[in-house]
């Protein structure tokens, strides 16, 4: 059994609209996707929207280059992390990973 991997690349994203667009594109969400936190949570947990074979094998969503968004919109990023975590907690075949690296920026809450 090999997990299906979907990468959500947030390079250059600095607002919620950009995050929602990247998630919609990477996850192949339908046109009617609502582009809000509830819609993202629902979509992550909806097996009918997953890639073929992911229900049986598991789905790993890797979020890359999230640091710029986290620095620009810390409250939104906190909400995004909560949405990803809750979706993974409530959907046994789903895992969401935040990729580290890929930036030289230090986040505001990092120790100096």
C-alpha span between 19 and 37 (Å, rounded): 10
pTM of the model: 0.85
Q: What is the pLDDT of residues 70-84, one digit of tens each?
A: 999 999 999 999 999
CA 41 to chain centre: 10
Q: What is the pLDDT of residues 44-99, one digit of tens each?
A: 999 999 988 899 999 999 999 999 999 999 999 999 999 999 999 999 999 999 99
**Is domain 4-98 classified as CATH 3.40.50.2300?**
no
């Amino acid at each position: 059994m090999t997990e299906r991997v979907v990468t959500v690349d947030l390079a250059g994203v600095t607002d919620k609209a950009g995050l929602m667009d990247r998630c919609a594109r990477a996850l192949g969400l339908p046109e009617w996707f609502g582009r809000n936190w509830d819609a993202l949570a629902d979509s992550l947990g909806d097996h009918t929207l997953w890639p073929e074979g992911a229900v049986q094998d598991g789905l790993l969503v890797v979020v890359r280059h999230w640091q710029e968004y986290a620095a620009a919109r810390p409250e939104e990023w906190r909400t995004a992390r909560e949405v990803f975590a809750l979706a993974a907690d409530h959907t046994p075949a789903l895992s969401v990973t935040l990729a580290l690296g890929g930036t030289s920026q230090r986040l505001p809450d990092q120790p100096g």
